[in-house]
């Protein structure tokens, strides 16, 4: 089922959707654990799970294998990440054909990160420079590919485009090319998300926007990811993290508690769902979703 249909059905029920992102494990044991994780999530009713590419498209084949198996062997909808990195148009078309042949109806179209060790993104000579070009390519053959297309969004601006006006123009170009919904990069400041949504709507971007939340499990991890994606850690949270830097259990508890509060506020304010960056560690996300389903903050209003 397409993500847009999942969102529509959820809206008709007056409920949000919850989705989870994983990256391809490097070992067969890791793959086994991933499937156990997806099975453990099923009682919470995940709308879909997504599987990333590694940096530079390094896990492309494993990503395709995982998405195919998830679609065929579980009752959870799957979404494949597709990036422009290191691939020609012909190679990307082959990936899309394989995803479509597996019955997967949803793709997240991304430019992608440069390969490890590379400073800047360099497009393939016969590839795409921007995600908007990838989206337009998919839409150019509607009889061949009938995907529901998602794309990334940056509430605090893309790290390569700190100018928020220019970043929003780039986002509008992606949506105009044929994007059906957006998933944001992780953030820790809900107000940044609300301001971003207001700017997007004012710019004529009307597609659903799913906020991306990462329940961090240790302080170094949170700082590393925010440095990579340009997200800001609010000062009160930064102080709380500093006090727990050498307390693994305390840091984990803080990550779960803070993400729970973030999600509750976002849902009270009417977001259509939450996309969790699990880092292949689902207990925190499972605990948060279980608590949210029990308390139903979306029925309380904001």
> Residue 267 belongs to a domain with what CATH number?
3.20.20.220
Which whole-number Å values give the CA distances from 10 to 17, 223, 278, 291, in the listed order? Answer: 7, 34, 22, 18
Residue 300 inside a domain? The answer is no
The model's confidence at residue 114, banded by pLDDT at 50, 70 and 90, is low
The mean pLDDT of 241-260, rounded to a whole number, is 96
Report the relative pairing of strands 181-186 and 77-83 from DSSP bridges. Answer: unpaired
Residue 301 inside a domain? The answer is no
Of 113-117, 196-200, 274-278, 283-287, minimum mean pLDDT range: 113-117
Residue 302 inside a domain? The answer is no
Question: Percentage of residues in the chain with pLDDT exceeding 70?
Answer: 93
Is the pLDDT confidence value at 58 over 60? no
- The H or E element spanning position 78 is strand 77-83
Is the pLDDT confidence value at 116 over 80? no
**Is 12 an annotated catalytic residue?**
no
Rg value, the chain, Cα: 18
pLDDT, position 283: 87
Residue of 12, 21, 36, 39 marked catalytic? 21
Burial of 79-111, coded b for 16+ CB within 10 Å and e otherwise, reads bbbbbbbbbeeeebbebbebbbebebbbbbbbb
Total of domains in the chain: 1
pLDDT, position 23: 85
Q: In whole angstroms, give the CA distance from residue 241 to residue 44.
A: 29
**What length is written for the chain?**
302
Residue 142 inside a domain? The answer is yes
Residue 166 inside a domain? The answer is yes
Q: In whole angstroms, give the CA distance from residue 149 to residue 108.
A: 6
Is the pLDDT confidence value at 113 over 80? no
pLDDT, position 56: 46
Question: DSSP secondary-structure letter at 208?
Answer: -
- Beta strand spans in 134-208 (E): 148-153, 181-186
Of 105-109, 155-159, 194-198, 202-206, minimum mean pLDDT range: 155-159
Specify the higher pLDDT residue, 75 or 251.
Answer: 251
Give the distance, in angstroms, between the CA of residue 198 and the centroid of all CA atoms in the same chain: 20
How far from each other are the two terminal CA atoms of the chain, in whole angstroms? 30
Q: In whole angstroms, give the CA distance from residue 14 to residue 28.
A: 40
The mean pLDDT of 215-231, rounded to a whole number, is 90
Q: Could you tell me the residue range of the domain that residue 50 belongs to?
A: 3-295
Contacts 24+ apart (CB under 8 A), 60-66: 60/87, 60/95, 62/24, 63/24, 64/95, 64/98, 64/99, 64/102, 66/22, 66/24, 66/31, 66/34
Report the relative pairing of strands 148-153 and 17-22 from DSSP bridges. Answer: unpaired
The mean pLDDT of 91-108, rounded to a whole number, is 92
The pTM score is: 0.93
């Amino acid at each position: 089922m397409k993500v847009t249909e999942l969102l529509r059905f959820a809206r008709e029920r007056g409920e949000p959707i919850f989705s989870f992102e994983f990256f391809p494990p490097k070992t067969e044991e890791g793959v086994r654990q991933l499937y156990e994780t997806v099975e453990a999530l099923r009682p919470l009713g995940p709308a879909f799970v997504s599987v990333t590419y590694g940096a530079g498209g390094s896990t492309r084949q494993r990503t395709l294998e995982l998405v195919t198996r998830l679609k065929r062997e579980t009752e959870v909808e799957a979404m494949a990440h597709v990036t422009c990195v290191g691939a020609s148009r012909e190679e990307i078309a082959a990936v899309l054909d394989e995803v479509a042949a597996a019955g997967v109806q949803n793709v997240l179209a991304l430019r992608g990160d440069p390969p490890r060790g590379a400073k800047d993104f360099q497009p393939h000579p016969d590839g795409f420079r921007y995600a908007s070009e990838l989206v337009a390519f998919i839409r150019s053959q509607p009889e061949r590919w009938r995907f529901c297309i998602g794309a990334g969004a940056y509430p605090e601006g893309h790290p390569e485009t700190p100018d928020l006006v220019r970043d929003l123009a780039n986002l509008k170009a992606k949506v105009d090319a044929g994007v059906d919904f957006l998933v944001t990069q992780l953030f820790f400041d809900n107000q940044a998300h609300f301001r971003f949504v207001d700017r997007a709507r004012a710019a004529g971007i009307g597609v659903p926007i799913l906020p991306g939340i990462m329940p961090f499990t240790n302080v170094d991890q949170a700082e590393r990811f925010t440095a990579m994606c340009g997200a800001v850690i609010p000062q009160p949270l930064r102080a709380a993290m500093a006090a727990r830097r050498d307390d693994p259990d305390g840091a984990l508890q803080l990550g779960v508690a803070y993400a729970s509060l973030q999600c509750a506020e976002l849902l009270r304010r009417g977001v259509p769902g939450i996309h969790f960056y699990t880092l292949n560690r689902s207990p925190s996300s499972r605990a948060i979703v279980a608590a949210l389903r029990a308390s139903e903050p979306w029925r309380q209003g904001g």
